[in-house]
Each structure stands twice: as C-alpha cells, then as structure tokens.
C-alpha cells in the first residue's frame, strides 16, 4: 500500500514498505489471467444457482406457500405450526429472489448498453452490490465489463458508498485525497482501456454503416438554454459525457461561420455530431433521414458532416472516457477523491454566468480565441486579480511619492504606457482578473475564522480549497472537525465544509487575521479550481518535469502568493529561480543563493518558531490566528526551491520539513527524478501543461507563468517604480521629458476645435453627437468613456470584459462596436472616428476629445511648453485649465457601472493634476502679491482634491500673506475640525507653529 506520512521526523524519512507509483505511468492493459476465467465461471455458477436454482428448489421442494383461497377469520386463530412457519419463510425467500433477480437484470442491462449509471432498485443495497460484483466478474473477460467500475475488492462495502458520483467520493481517513492501491490502479486502467476499445469499435461500426447522428442546438425557451451537459444527459444517458460531444465537434466550422472552442459556449442553430449510441427521437437527426426538419437544415447537416473526418477516429470517445476516469473513478479500498460534489445544473444557460475564477476566461471572444493575448493569464483569474491590484497600488504609490517630492508642481504625471509584450500582459490581466472572486474568498475565510473564534473553536487544518464553477467554495479538511458554523455547511462528507456563493456574498469585512494565507492556485479540474494550502502539507511537496515547465509553475505560485488578496503578511523565499520577481512584492519576496543559505536560514527560523509556540502554549500556528491568541497572527513562510537538491541535501531538507506544517512553513521543491525523501505529495508537470498527482487522484490543467510573460509582468512593475522607472529617481524626468508628456495632446488653439467633445470631469456630457438609442445609451457612453481615458487604444477583449464583467458572446460585442462606430460617425474626409490600429486595438480619432485631454494639454503647455517663456501665457493657460474642473471624474455615473475604473489610476491622477494646477496658479498670483487671487485658485482646486496636504499648506501661506490673523485662526480651526481624532499631520503643525504660534490657543478658545 502507499505509505502514509506523519508529522514526525522518523516517519518522514523512513523507507517505504512497498514501491510507490511516484510518477504517472502509461496505461497498461491488464491481460486476463486464468484467475479471471475462474472468477467468471464461479460468478456464472452463483448467478445460475441464485436466479434459476432457488425458484426451482422452492417450487419442487416446498410448493406454493400461499393459501389456495381467501383466508377466513378463523384462519388467523389457528395454531402456528412448523408448516405455517415454513410457508412464511418461503414467501420471504421468494421476495428476496425477485429483488435480487431485478438487480441482476438492471446491472446486466447497464453493462451491455454501456450508457449511463445503473438504476437503483429500491431497498436492495446489499443485493444490488452482490449482483453488480457477480455480473462484473462474469463480464470481466469481455469488453462490456468496462462499464462496471467497482472492483471485486469492494465486495462487502455499503451500496451507498458505491452509489456516490465518482467526483464526489470522499476520503474516509484523514488526509486531503485518498491514495489508490497499485492493484486497484491496474484494474481501473484495464477497465478504462477496455472501455476505450469498445467505444472505438462501436464508433467504427457505426461510421461504416453511415449511422452517424447529429443534433441541432435549439433556441432558448424562456430561461432555458441548451447546453452540452443537458444534451449528453438527454441523449447519452449521462451528462458527464458532454466531453465526447465537445471533442467530436471542437474547432469545426458551424453554419454561421464560427467554431466551437469552449464547451460552455454554444449557440442556437449549431450542429453537433453525436456519439453512435445517442438516442432521443426527433431531436437526434441524421442528414438523410430527417423528415421533420426543413431542407435548409438538412443541407446544413450534410455540409457539416463533410467537415468531420478529423473527428471520426474515436478521439471524442477516448477523451470522454478519460474525462470520466479523470474525475475520480473508484477503485480499491479507498475512494480516489479530487473534486467536491458539484455539477452543472440541467438547465445551463448558453452563456452561463461564469464563476469566480473563470468568468473572464470564458468571455466574449471565446470564438476568437484570445486575440493574441497570453492564454496563461486569461485562465488564471485569481493570479491576474492579485497582479492587477498590486500593480494599481504600485502606480498610485509612485504618483504620491513623486507628488510629495516635487516643489513647484508635479513631475512625471503620466506613467509610461506599456508596449509590446508588457501591453499584451496588461490587457490579459484586465480581461482575466476576477477581483470579485478574490474578495469573496477573502471574506469567506476571514468570516469563518471570526465565527469559530466566537464559538471558542480552533481553526481546522485545511489541505485544499475548491472554487466551483457555480461560485461555491469547498474546504477540504485534514480530518473531521465537527459541524461548521453557519452559513457554512457540511459537504459530501465530514471532511468537506461548503459555502454557497450566495452566502459568501452576505459576509462583511471581518477584523481577524487571514486564516489560510498559504492557499495558492495550482490549476483547474473540470469546472473547479484547486487551491493547495502549502503551509499545511505534512512534509514536502515535490514537482517533477522539465526545467522550463517547472519554472513556469514556480513563477505562477510565487507571483500569486506575493500579490493575493486573502493573506496579510507572508515571507516567500525563492531558491534557484525568479531573481527578477522581487519588484512584485519587495516586502514579501527574498532570494537565497543556494542550499547552504537556505538550511542556515530555515534551521534558525524552525528553532525560533518551535520555541515561540512552546512559550505561547500553542500546538500549531493555527491556534495563534483565532480565539484568545489571535493577536499572535503567525505569518506563513513558504519556500520555493526550484533547483534539484543533491541526495544529502534532500535528506537534510526532509528532516527540516518534518514538522513544518505545525510551524506554518511550507516547502515546494523541484526535482528531476522520481524519489525525493520527505515528499508527502508528489506532482509532475507535463509538456502539455497537465499537472499530475497520481497518488492524489489529480489531473489538472496547470496554472503557469511562462518565462516571456514573467518578464513582461516584472517590466510592468519595474516601470511603475518611481525609483527604477523610466522617469528616474522620484519619477521626475526633467522638464520637457517624454516621461512627463501626456499620452494625447490637444490643439488648444481656435483652429483645434474638436468635432466631438466629451465632458468627463464632473457630470458626463457629450457635445457634437445626437443622443443614442435610450436602451443602449448607457453601454455606448461607457464604451466611449473607456476609449477616451485610453488614447493609446483598447483591446476588444478588455472593452468587452469591462462592459460585461460576467461574460458576453462575440456577436453581442461586435454588434455594440458597430453601433458605436455608427454613433461616432466619420470626419469630414470620410475617416471613421473609431478605428483599429496595427495591433487590433480600438482607437479614437483626434477629432474626438475630452475635457480631461484639454486639462492635461493646458497644464503641460503652461508648465513645459509655451508658458515657460511667457508669464502672461502661463497665467492664462492655468486659469483656463482650472475653469474646466467641475467635480470628480464621471460624478454622476450610475451605480453598478464603470467598475473597471477600480483598475485605473485616473481617479488618483485627476486630483493630483487639479492640485498641481491650483498650486501653479497660486504661485503665479503670489509672485505679484495677489493673495486673494491665490486663495481663490487654491479653494477651487480643493473642491476636487480636498485631501491634498500641499493645497492646505499653500492656503495657509496665502492667507498669512493677507495679514489677517483672525482669518488665519479660522482656517487653523477648520483644519483641526477636518483632521478629526487623528489630529493634524506633523508637517501641518510645524507650518502653523511658524506662521501662527498662538494657533493652539485660538483653536482651544473656538472649541
């Protein structure tokens, strides 16, 4: 049997008593042995005796047990004799025989048809299980036995355990996943191989007789939409066989010219080739035998049939078998468990509301694939959300650092516009990010910790979290931990806690430590995303595969840990890779040169944590994250070691990691071989992007960050750093530097009057265009606003994911773009005002201008253009710029729209730009001792940037220049009131002490 790990050092390094399947092996067909024929013969004899022998024996030896006539009342008063007792017993035996015979018939029918799961005979748990085992043994020598998944080794287990869906079967012993025995794995492989051979043979025979069947996607009826799952459930008897339909029709041209590229995105009118055993009456149509459809549809089916040569080799069936098997086929004494119990609802919409973690990956351009954007980030919504949030914070920090470091106005107002790979990666982050999923995950975990603390219960050890396709969250516990607090519920068994998305949305922010900061995404399986809790692993997690593939997985793990939104503090130590990842989170990521540095560092920290836990009286770091000791807040330390350790180093590492899970330390180690001492969980990344863990029953679509995208991500963060970016130290690039130049300069002369003028600073108004259709006005206005704020161009997928964050089909997106083009119209020379650049991004013509563009251009001309050499021009330009400011950006935007602005920094840029304009105009007036004019300019800027401390300082100086002490006292009192309980900033206090030494007395008197 596979060895089990414990937290002790001895067990972590002890040799295994039996060989283990450390790496994925090719499927081996177990040849039928003499023992199989003996089992089949014995099963036949037992079935013959039970099905035929029992009724013959009853009929010949006992006879008919029931009375010949209607019993009278005196019959009930007769004495119960031995004969009466035998008759009653005979009736019971007849009923048992009838029930068992029904079970045999049901199992034989299911085995021979190969379609769906066998029906369940009411009240016949043990009987049906016995019938299943006997039928399986009898048919084991033939291909039809492949449909009977339980092996003979399960004889005697409860029928309930075998009736669970394979994806919902749960480990009954402590641990994240059940481990298969080698014998069970061999049996499952043989059965899967037989199933594939049988299905391929059936497909070949069907194709040879021209029996291929087709199905036409039906239009929606009310809220019901066709889905591949429901089609498979109706016509194949099992919704899980939707993968077979998908593989048969993937990338084939449909009647409307588009292609099927994702199983969740199908359209009415599309044709689907069906497996040969599909059933369903008029709905399953053949091109030459479709009397109930029009000639046009028959022609469409016939044309579609001509494109299917590439799909006739049984590939779809093989894929389907693999998909079913990969979902967790049971075998041996332990269930192979991976996924929590979850499946698409029967009435899945054609464009479903994507779940947290996948809503952007399935957005409108599925039929257009990725438009050239990096697929890895499009399929990593949690990673993308973390990177996007961290990048936004870094850019805002750079703005403020540069603003506070400037003297006469801000320098380096505009961050550099990404180009090339960096631009593609930024667009992929915008499209792929799922900030709502991150927010719900964080609130759910912190809410759980707060609820357990209120009940004085400890946090359970969580090995993994599954984020389902419907948005539900499943926590997989190391061992049962009782009933979860409301609104959490028990999942498929005692080791699963489940929280529905609707309940998660009801959580508020909780003032508690992040309970499971070590959770990190590894990939997806079916429609669920796996997050592994690295700090809870009882030992080392090893990762095999080629160096490039391993490094891509390591980079993804490191980037998500460094930027995720469900952790507080964390240390991430990188050894052997990722020297350039530090800009993502300088306070979290550190690099060590080699093994000796790692051993020295981690040995000291391990001793320190053991001592601290003992002194605090805690058994693990989880105790310090909730309950009375939650102030301790033990932060995890995760070590990612990409280099292959030597044999000696591996042993030392195994000893070091033996007690790691209790201390909040996790180890992910790369290996080129198949045997790493102390490895509790072993995974391998393949060249096709599959993350395999045979002993855990996992086959994931791995989440990776390839080298090129890793470099582009780092470039985005480096350019946003004011100390290392293109603008130089502090973000200042000098007057006239291109780093300070706005992305779009407007001709501010009389000859530069635009054709279309949009007012964004304040309420949203558009001048020069007719009002669009009322029903679509909001979408058109929002799309135009996004294009105006991104003069460098907007990727079509970025635009569609911003307008429809929960997903949209390509035809709806394209229709909106056509309406937007028609609404904007053309210039006098016939040039469309909405165009497309060489990279496919949408751009606006120079004749379409916003007041923000004019504001930026006026400030630039006043401080770095014509106003530098002419004081009169500078004053006029600054005054005109400040007049444009009517309030915050898009002040009257409707609630629920423009959520994409949370990813932008324009909300931080605009107040700084207005403040800089007010400061420059105030300086202009104070040079001529016009204090009142300066105060007027500063007050105008404060209406848009009330939190800018620089404006208040200049207002104090301008007021002091009026020599009005009472006015200065009133301003000081106003500042104290605004500061509230926090008090005045130190620099403001120092300035007041200089300008008005008695300001405290005046404030006290006013109070």
Question: If DSSP codes are grouped into helix, strand and coil, which group holds residue 839?
Answer: coil
When mean pLDDT is compared across 72-76, 302-306, 332-336, 394-398, the lowest value belongs to 332-336
* CA distances for 193 relative to 26, 31, 114, 298, 399, angstroms: 11, 11, 14, 36, 61
What number of other Cβ atoms are within 10 A of residue 821's Cβ?
Answer: 15
Helix, strand, coil percentages for the chain (3-state, nearest 5): 50, 10, 40
Closest to 478 in 3D by CA, of 527, 533, 424: 533
* pLDDT value at residue 239: 73
Residue 527 has pLDDT above 70, yes or no: yes
What number of other Cβ atoms are within 10 A of residue 8's Cβ?
Answer: 12
When mean pLDDT is compared across 93-102, 171-180, 273-282, 823-832, the lowest value belongs to 171-180
* CA distances for 909 relative to 187, 614, 743, 761, angstroms: 64, 50, 13, 12
Residue 443 CA to residue 452 CA, distance in Å, equals 14
Question: If DSSP codes are grouped into helix, strand and coil, which group holds residue 1005?
Answer: helix
Most confident of 42-56, 238-252, 949-963: 949-963
Residue 408's pLDDT band, with cuts at 50, 70 and 90, is very low
Residue 655 CA to residue 7 CA, distance in Å, equals 10
First to last CA, the chain: 79
Residue 407 has pLDDT above 50, yes or no: no
Question: Strand 571-575 to strand 637-641: parallel, antiparallel, or no bridges (unpaired)?
Answer: parallel
Residue 460 has pLDDT above 70, yes or no: yes
Residue 410 CA to residue 703 CA, distance in Å, equals 41
Residue 21 CA to residue 675 CA, distance in Å, equals 10
Tell me which of 70 and 87 has the higher pLDDT: 87
Structure tokens of 399?
């703005």
Mean pLDDT calculated for residue range 519-534: 92
Residue 958's pLDDT band, with cuts at 50, 70 and 90, is very high
* pLDDT value at residue 70: 60
**Could you report the per-residue pLDDT of 12-41, keeping only the tens digit for each?**
333 333 333 333 333 333 445 666 677 778
Residue 260 CA to residue 275 CA, distance in Å, equals 17
Structure tokens of 859?
């400030």
Does the pTM exceed 0.75?
no
* pLDDT value at residue 736: 39
CB 414 within 8 A of CB 395: no
Question: Strand 637-641 to strand 665-671: parallel, antiparallel, or no bridges (unpaired)?
Answer: parallel
When mean pLDDT is compared across 53-57, 127-131, 715-719, 994-998, the lowest value belongs to 127-131
Please name every residue paired with 203 in a beta bridge, in sequence order, or none if there are none.
none
**Could you report the per-residue pLDDT of 266-320, keeping only the tens digit for each?**
777 888 888 888 877 555 555 555 555 677 777 788 788 777 654 444 333 333 3
Residue 167 has pLDDT above 50, yes or no: no
Q: Which residue has the tokens 């600054």?
A: 878
DSSP H or E run through 214: strand 213-216
CB 827 within 8 A of CB 847: yes
CB 721 within 8 A of CB 583: yes
Tell me which of 806 and 292 has the higher pLDDT: 806
* pLDDT value at residue 438: 93
CB 190 within 8 A of CB 321: no
Closest to 693 in 3D by CA, of 180, 323, 319: 180
Long-range contacts of 88-96 (CB under 8 A, 24+ apart): 90/58, 90/62, 90/65, 91/65, 91/66, 93/54, 93/58, 94/55, 94/58, 94/65, 96/127
Query: How crowded is the C-beta side of 901, counted as CA atoms within 13 Å?
Result: 23
Question: If DSSP codes are grouped into helix, strand and coil, which group holds residue 256?
Answer: coil
Residue 214 has pLDDT above 50, yes or no: yes
CB 168 within 8 A of CB 341: yes
Number of helices (H) and strands (E), helices first, in the chain?
33, 22
**Could you report the per-residue pLDDT of 755-805, keeping only the tens digit for each?**
999 999 999 999 999 888 777 888 999 999 999 999 999 999 999 999 998
When mean pLDDT is compared across 144-148, 486-490, 953-957, the lowest value belongs to 144-148
Mean pLDDT calculated for residue range 952-969: 91
When mean pLDDT is compared across 403-412, 745-754, 935-944, the lowest value belongs to 403-412
Mean pLDDT calculated for residue range 736-740: 47
Instruction: Please give the angle made by the CA atoms of 677, 681 and 687, to the nearest 5 degrees.
Output: 100
* pLDDT value at residue 782: 93
Provide the strand spans (E) within 399-495.
Answer: 462-467, 473-477, 489-490
The pLDDT mean for the chain works out to 76
Question: Strand 665-671 to strand 540-544: parallel, antiparallel, or no bridges (unpaired)?
Answer: parallel
**Could you report the per-residue pLDDT of 495-510, keeping only the tens digit for each?**
999 999 989 888 888 8
Tell me which of 371 and 94 has the higher pLDDT: 94
Residue 316 CA to residue 44 CA, distance in Å, equals 34
* pLDDT value at residue 99: 84
**786: Cβ–Cβ under 8 A, 6 or more apart, which residues?**
794, 799, 802, 900
Q: Is 32 exposed, middle or buried (0-12, 13-18, 19+ CB in 10 A)?
A: middle
Mean pLDDT calculated for residue range 426-451: 92
Closest to 260 in 3D by CA, of 702, 840, 803, 809: 809
Please name every residue paired with 262 in a beta bridge, in sequence order, or none if there are none.
none
CB 228 within 8 A of CB 261: no
Residue 822's pLDDT band, with cuts at 50, 70 and 90, is very high
DSSP H or E run through 667: strand 665-671
Structure tokens of 396?
């805002």
Provide the H-helix boundaries in 697-845: 707-720, 777-788, 796-803, 810-824
Mean pLDDT calculated for residue range 231-254: 83
Residue 645's pLDDT band, with cuts at 50, 70 and 90, is confident
**76: Cβ–Cβ under 8 A, 6 or more apart, which residues?**
none
Residue 355 has pLDDT above 50, yes or no: no
pLDDT above 90 covers a percentage of the chain that reads: 29
Residue 727 CA to residue 415 CA, distance in Å, equals 9
Closest to 108 in 3D by CA, of 81, 129, 139: 139
The number of angstroms, rounded, from the C-alpha of 202 to the middle of its chain's C-alpha atoms is 38
Residue 637 CA to residue 666 CA, distance in Å, equals 7
Residue 1006 has pLDDT above 80, yes or no: no
Q: Write the DSSP assignment of 848-864 as a string of letters.
A: EEEHHHHHHHHHHHHHH
Residue 136 CA to residue 113 CA, distance in Å, equals 14
């Amino acid at each position: 049997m596979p060895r089990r790990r414990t937290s002790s050092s001895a067990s972590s390094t002890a040799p295994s008593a039996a060989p283990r399947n450390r790496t994925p092996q090719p499927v081996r067909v177990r040849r039928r042995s003499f023992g199989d024929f003996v089992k089949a013969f014995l099963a036949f004899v037992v079935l013959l005796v039970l099905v035929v022998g029992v009724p013959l024996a009853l009929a010949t030896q006992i006879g008919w047990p029931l009375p010949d006539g209607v019993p009278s009342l005196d019959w009930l008063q007769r004495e119960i004799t031995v004969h009466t007792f035998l008759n009653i017993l005979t009736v019971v035996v007849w009923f048992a025989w009838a029930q068992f015979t029904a079970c045999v018939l049901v199992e034989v029918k299911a085995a021979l048809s190969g379609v769906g799961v066998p029906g369940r005979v009411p009240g016949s748990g043990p009987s049906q299980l016995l019938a299943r085992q006997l039928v399986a043994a009898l048919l084991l020598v033939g291909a039809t036995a492949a449909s009977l998944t339980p092996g003979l080794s399960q004889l005697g287990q409860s029928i309930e355990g075998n009736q669970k869906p394979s994806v919902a079967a749960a480990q009954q012993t402590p641990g994240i996943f059940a481990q298969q025995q080698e014998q069970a794995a061999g049996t499952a492989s043989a059965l899967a191989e037989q199933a594939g051979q049988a299905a391929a043979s059936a497909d070949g025979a069907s194709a040879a007789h021209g029996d291929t069947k087709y199905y036409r996607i039906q239009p929606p009826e009310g809220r019901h939409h066709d889905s591949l799952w429901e089609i498979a459930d109706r016509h194949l008897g099992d919704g899980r066989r939707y993968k077979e339909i998908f593989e048969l029709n993937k990338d084939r041209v449909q009647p409307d010219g588009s292609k099927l590229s994702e199983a969740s995105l199908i359209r009415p009118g599309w044709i689907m080739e069906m497996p040969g055993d599909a059933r369903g009456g008029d709905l399953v149509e053949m091109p030459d035998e479709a009397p109930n459809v029009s000639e046009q549809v028959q022609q469409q089916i016939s044309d579609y049939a001509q494109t299917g040569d590439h799909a006739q080799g049984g590939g779809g069936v093989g894929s389907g078998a693999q998909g079913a098997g990969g979902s967790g086929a049971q075998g041996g004494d332990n269930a192979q468990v991976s996924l929590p119990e979850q499946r698409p609802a029967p009435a899945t919409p054609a464009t479903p509301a994507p779940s947290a973690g996948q809503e952007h990956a399935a957005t409108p351009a599925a039929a257009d694939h990725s438009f050239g954007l990096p697929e890895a980030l499009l399929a990593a919504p949690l990673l993308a959300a973390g990177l996007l949030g961290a990048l936004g914070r870094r850019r805002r920090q750079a703005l403020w650092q540069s603003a506070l470091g400037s003297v006469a106005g801000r320098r380096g107002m505009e961050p550099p516009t990404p180009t090339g790979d960096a631009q593609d990666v930024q667009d992929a982050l915008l499209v792929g990010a799922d900030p709502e999923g991150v927010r719900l995950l964080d609130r759910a975990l912190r809410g759980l910790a707060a609820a357990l603390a209120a009940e004085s219960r400890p946090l359970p050890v969580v090995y993994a979290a599954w984020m389902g396709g419907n948005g539900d969250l499943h926590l997989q516990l190391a061992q049962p931990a009782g009933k979860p607090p409301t609104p959490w519920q028990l999942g498929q068994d005692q080791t699963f806690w489940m929280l529905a998305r609707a309940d998660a949305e009801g959580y508020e922010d909780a003032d508690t430590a992040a309970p499971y900061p070590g959770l990190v995404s590894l990939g997806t399986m079916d429609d669920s995303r796996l997050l592994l809790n690295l700090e809870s692993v009882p030992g080392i997690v090893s990762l095999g595969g080629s160096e490039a593939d391993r490094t891509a997985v390591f980079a993804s793990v490191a980037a998500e840990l460094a930027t995720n939104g469900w952790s507080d503090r964390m240390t991430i130590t990188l050894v052997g890779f990722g020297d350039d990842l530090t800009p993502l989170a300088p306070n979290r990521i550190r690099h060590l040169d080699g093994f000796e540095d790692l051993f020295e560092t981690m040995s000291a920290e391990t001793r320190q944590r053991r001592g601290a836990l003992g002194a605090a009286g805690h058994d693990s770091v989880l105790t310090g994250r909730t309950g009375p000791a939650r102030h301790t807040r033990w932060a995890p330390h995760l070590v990612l070691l990409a280099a292959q350790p030597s044999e000696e180093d591996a042993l030392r590492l195994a000893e070091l990691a033996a007690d790691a899970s209790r201390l909040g330390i996790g180890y992910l180690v790369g290996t080129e071989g198949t045997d790493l001492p102390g490895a509790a969980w072993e995974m391998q990344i393949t060249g096709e992007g599959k993350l395999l863990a045979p002993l855990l029953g996992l086959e994931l679509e791995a989440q990776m960050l390839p080298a090129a995208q890793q470099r582009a991500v780092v470039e985005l963060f480096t350019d946003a750093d004011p100390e290392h970016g293109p603008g130089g130290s502090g973000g200042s690039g000098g007057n006239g530097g291109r780093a300070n130049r706005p992305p779009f300069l407007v001709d501010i002369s009389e000859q530069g009057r635009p054709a279309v003028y949009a007012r964004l600073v304040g309420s949203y108004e558009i001048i020069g265009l007719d009002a669009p259709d009322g029903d679509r006005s909001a979408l058109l206005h929002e799309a135009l606003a996004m294009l105006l704020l991104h003069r460098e161009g907007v990727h079509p997928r970025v635009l569609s994911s911003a307008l429809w964050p929960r997903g949209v089909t390509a035809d709806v997106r394209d229709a909106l773009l056509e309406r937007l083009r028609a609404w904007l119209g053309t210039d006098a020379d016939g040039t469309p005002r909405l165009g497309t650049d060489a990279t496919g991004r949408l751009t606006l013509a120079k004749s379409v201008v916003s007041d923000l563009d004019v504001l930026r251009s006026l400030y630039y001309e006043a401080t770095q253009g014509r106003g530098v050499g002419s004081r009169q021009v500078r004053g006029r330009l600054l005054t005109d710029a400040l007049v444009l400011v009517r309030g915050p950006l898009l002040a009257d935007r409707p609630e629920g729209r423009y959520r994409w602005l949370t990813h932008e920094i324009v909300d931080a840029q605009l107040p700084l730009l207005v403040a800089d304009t007010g400061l420059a105009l105030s300086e202009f007036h104070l040079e001529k001792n016009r204090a009142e004019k300066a105060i007027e300019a500063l007050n105008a800027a404060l209406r848009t940037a009330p939190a800018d401390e620089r404006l208040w300082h200049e207002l104090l100086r301008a007021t002091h220049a009026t020599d009005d002490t009472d006015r200065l006292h009133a301003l000081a009192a106003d500042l104290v009131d605004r500061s509230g309980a926090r008090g005045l900033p130190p620099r403001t206090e120092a300035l007041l002490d200089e300008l008005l030494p008695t300001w405290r007395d005046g404030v006290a008197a006013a109070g």
